[in-house]
Every structure is written in structure tokens, then in C-alpha cells.
Amino acid sequence: MAFESLSDRLQGAVQNMGKKGKITEGDLKEMMREVRLALLEADVNFKVVKNFVKRVNERALNSEVLQSLSPAQQVVKIVNDELTDLMGGEHEDIQFATTPPTVIMMAGLQGAGKTTTVGKLAAFLKKNDHKKPLLVAGDIYRPAAINQLQTIGQQLDLPVFTLGDQVSPVEIATQAIEHAKMNGHDLVFIDTAGRLQIDERLMTELKDIKAAVNPDEILLTVDSMTGQEAANVAKAFDEELDITGVVLTKLDGDTRGGAALSIVSVTGKPIKFTGTGEKLNEIERFYPDRMSNRILGMGDMLTLIEKAQAEFDENEAEAMAAKMRENTYDFNDFIKNMDQMNKMGSMKDILKMIPGMNKMGNLDDLNVDPKQMAQTRAMIQSMTPFERENPDSISQSRRRRIAKGSATTLQEVNRLIKQFNESRKLMSAMSNGNMGALQNMMGGLGGGGFGGFGGGGNRNKNRVAELQAKQMARKLKKAKKKGK
């Protein structure tokens, strides 16, 4: 997960500071030493780190801060503010043209995920901004690049414009825009060729496309796994093309965070979106303040709310809440919730957005093995409609039939039904305001792995975490609606 090592180091530094009633310049110096090392180990550009530490020191060494009643909290706030500024300060969105279509030219090196990002971003803006995108296959050099974009277009139900690989990219881009105007497309994404490294031929072609179509946005796709080298790549592209923003990909990988913390300072251009996984719906708008909160373990409730709103229908949520209160939640509901939660991301990532949950520990174990979830789904789908709607009716003979139909054992089916019934009781208690039920269950659980339904390890703990996140998302959505 992105920033994990950096986040752990920074949280450790600020938490140690938070234990002190009063802090001295020596305490601050020690904390900033840890912060500096954490940033350097995260592969953040050296000059960026140096300037960051300098700014924090200048603000924190203010006598009013050191002599205040809560100096540690103020220092943490300063670190948070400076991290936010380091990543751009405020979110900058796509600038849509006043006269359609808006033309977005995508650039980047090979392997950065540019073509996939074209599809992800187009689908995101279609869903969230109600746009009608057209994807343009402008990479005529990489084998199967056109086929890849066409496949992505089919998966996302998005049209792809192509003239094959014998027409120049400039001509393809020009004709694509005319096609968009004639067919009512208000958004055009031009997928351009990449290279393994920056070269003159690549830049010349990109500049020719820019001159021909005058794009409203030039977004650079950057692999966040490359650390501060990503900032160097972004700087080189910016000097040649004057890019308008960056899309950071692979932020779900084992990246140290150097790219996100260096790019804005090095180029002066904002990070607009981040790719958070391999699935075509795993892309997010980039909010510097929210990312800073995540890095420092303060959660990110706004993003969690947005994820919940995108996946949970209000009427369905209310109906589900009623079923929880009445203890009539069934296996059909569970499958539906499992799919919704899967779309929101991993359990670990969801819980990290809740303030304080990062201190829970062992969050890695909360991620459910896809094989276990597939096994759980197989058992439920081996039930008859009557059995799914009436879990209490599943006798031993029925359970043996379910085990045979799902290629599992009777013990695994028994375990699934037992855990489901326990969880249903817990949900009923939670929905009726008895949060003590959750606390008692959490308190009675020890360490060990979390297998989830149909898996091994301490399955109850994983289920409780899943229920807590789901309940939290439902309540947050309801609360936000009332606040409008």
C-alpha cells in the first residue's frame, strides 16, 4: 500500500511528540530528524525534503507554539499543513472547455499505465460528471496498443476511434475531434505513444499533436513506483509540453511515496488523479489535504463518504438497515453487500480512512483472500432461493447438499452459517444502538489471522471489521444527506 512505510515513520515521530506536555527545541529537532529520514527513505527529492524541514522548523520554533498549552498538537498541525502544501495545497480538477468537446491529451512513458488510465478516467468522468467520452487510439507503434484500448472500451461501454496503424497520430487526433463533434461527444481522450525513455522523436510527435488539436488538458501518466525519478520524468515532459497535470498510477503498490511528495514541487503542476488498483473503476480525484491526513493516520472520512455514496443506494441502505434491526438479514443481502464493499476497495484501505483505525494494528490481516470469498460465494450460490432467504431453515441434510454442490466440506458450510447467524445478531444490536455488542465482541477476540467467511484464522474479527465499515458507510451517507 502506498505511503505505508512513510506513514508508519511519520506517525511514530508525531506520536512521540504528542506524549509530551511541553516540548523544547531539542524535542522538535529530534522529531524533525525522524521526519527528514522518513522522507528521504520514501525517495522524496532531497531539495524538497530540505525545504520542507526548513518550513516546518520556521513555523514550529515560533515562541507562541512552544509555549502554548498544546504545543505537540500545533506541531502536528504544522506538519500536516506543510505536507498538504507539498502535494499541491488544494485539489485541481479537469478544466472542461466552454465549447465542447473538451480535448484531453494523455502522455507518458511505456509501462506507466497510460492506456489503462485513459479508460479509467473516461469512465470516471462519464459516471461522475455525466460526460460522453470518445477514446482515441493514437499509439500506432506499440504492438497491440490499439487492440488494448478497444478491449478497454468494450469493457467500459465506451466508443473507440481508430484509423489503424498506418495513419499518422496527428491525422488520427484531428479526425477524431471532428468525429466527436459530429457524434455528440463532449469529451475526447487522445492516447499517445510512449517510449521506454524520453527521446527527441517522442517529444516532437507529442508537440505536433498538441499544435494540431490544441488540447484543453495535457495529463502526464506517471508510475508512482519509480519514486523521485517520476518527478524527473514529469519535469522533462513539462519543459517540452507544458503539461496541465499529473495522474499518478499504481498508488496501491509498494510505493514509498516519493513521487507524490516531489512532483508538485519539482514541476509546479498539480496531481489531479491517482490510480488505486488494477480494476478499471479504481481511480480517484487527488486531494492533497486528504492524502496528508491518511499519511499521518488521521483518516479520510470525506473520501469514505464519497465511496459509500457511489456504491450504496439510499433507499437500498434504508431497507437494509430495517432488515438488520428486524434480524431478517439474509444471504441474498450478504452477497449484495459483499459486492458493494468489494467495489469500495480492500477492507484495510476502508478502515484506514476511519480516524483512529490505523492504531488497531494488524490491518494487513483484514484483507480477505479472494479465494476465500469465492468459496463463500460458491456455498451461498449452492443454496436454493428459499434457503438464501431463510438461513434458519438450513438443516443438516441441506448443508450436506450445499457442501457437495460447492465443492466444500460440511464443516466449512457449518462454519459459514454459524458465523452468519452470529453476525446477524451483532448487526441487529448495532442497528438498534447497542454499540456495546461490538465492543464486547472486539474485546473478546485475540490475535491471529483473519480468514473471513469460509476461510481460516480468526474469522469473527474480520467479519466484525467488515460490518463496522459497512455500518459506518451507511450512517455517514445518511448523515451527509441530512446535512444538505
Question: Running along the chain, 484 residues long, what does each successive block of 10 average in pLDDT?
Answer: 69 69 77 86 86 87 62 78 88 92 93 92 94 94 91 96 93 96 95 83 91 95 82 89 92 68 88 89 89 70 58 67 78 82 63 53 57 88 93 92 94 90 74 54 40 42 46 52 51
Domain that holds residue 186: 102-288
Long-range contacts of 378-386 (CB under 8 A, 24+ apart): 378/406, 378/407, 378/408, 379/403, 379/406, 379/408, 379/412, 379/413, 379/416, 379/454, 380/331, 380/334, 380/335, 381/406, 382/406, 383/331
Whether residues 217 and 260 fall in one domain: yes
Name the binding residues: 108-115, 191-195, 249-252
For 59, the grid coordinates are 513555523
Whether residues 327 and 417 fall in one domain: yes
Mapped onto helix, strand or coil, the DSSP state of residue 248 is: strand
Q: What local confidence, expressed as pLDDT, does residue 39 receive?
A: 86
Q: Which residues contact 98 (CB under 8 A, 6 or more apart)?
A: none
Name the binding residues for GTP: 108-115, 191-195, 249-252
Whether residues 283 and 425 fall in one domain: no
Whether residues 37 and 140 fall in one domain: no
The verdict on residue 206 lying in a domain is: yes
Cα dihedral value 454, 460, 463, 468, nearest 10: 180
Listed residues 288, 323, 343: the one ending a domain:
288
Listed residues 46, 61, 86: the one ending a domain:
86
Phi, psi for 433 (deg, rounded to 5): 90, 5
Q: What local confidence, expressed as pLDDT, does residue 310 receive?
A: 59
Phi, psi for 429 (deg, rounded to 5): -65, -45
Whether residues 246 and 111 fall in one domain: yes
Whether residues 172 and 273 fall in one domain: yes
The verdict on residue 94 lying in a domain is: no
The verdict on residue 192 lying in a domain is: yes
Whether residues 342 and 368 fall in one domain: yes
Whether residues 144 and 274 fall in one domain: yes
Q: Cell numbers 443481502 label which residue?
A: 333
The verdict on residue 122 lying in a domain is: yes
The verdict on residue 93 lying in a domain is: no
Instruction: Provide the 10 A C-beta neighbour count for residue 126.
Output: 16
What's the CA gap between 281 and 129, in Å, rounded? 15
For 311-336, what is each residue's pLDDT tens digit?
566 676 677 777 777 778 888 888 88
| CA triple 298-309-472, angle to 5 deg | 50
The verdict on residue 299 lying in a domain is: no
Instruction: Provide the 10 A C-beta neighbour count for residue 92.
Output: 16
| Cβ burial, residue 480 (10 Å; 0-12/13-18/19+) | middle
Give the DSSP H or E segment for 160: strand 160-161
Listed residues 230, 260, 288: the one ending a domain:
288
Report DSSP state, residue 451.
Answer: -
Q: What local confidence, expressed as pLDDT, does residue 314 receive?
A: 64
CATH number reported for the structural domain that contains residue 265 in this entry: 3.40.50.300
Whether residues 126 and 217 fall in one domain: yes
| Cβ burial, residue 25 (10 Å; 0-12/13-18/19+) | exposed
CATH number reported for the structural domain that contains residue 22 in this entry: 1.20.120.140
Count of domains observed in the chain: 3
CATH number reported for the structural domain that contains residue 327 in this entry: 1.10.260.30
For 258, the grid coordinates are 516519493
What's the CA gap between 261 and 43, in Å, rounded? 9
What's the CA gap between 362 and 367, in Å, rounded? 10
Whether residues 72 and 120 fall in one domain: no
Please, what's the b/e burial string for 399-437 (b: 16 or more CB within 10 A of its CB; e: otherwise)?
Answer: bebbbeebebeeebbebbbebbeebbebbbbbbeeeeeb
Whether residues 138 and 176 fall in one domain: yes
Q: Which residues contact 253 (CB under 8 A, 6 or more apart)?
A: 2, 224, 225
- Give the predicted TM-score (pTM) of the model: 0.65
Whether residues 326 and 409 fall in one domain: yes
The verdict on residue 294 lying in a domain is: no
What's the CA gap between 405 and 403, in Å, rounded? 5
The verdict on residue 298 lying in a domain is: no
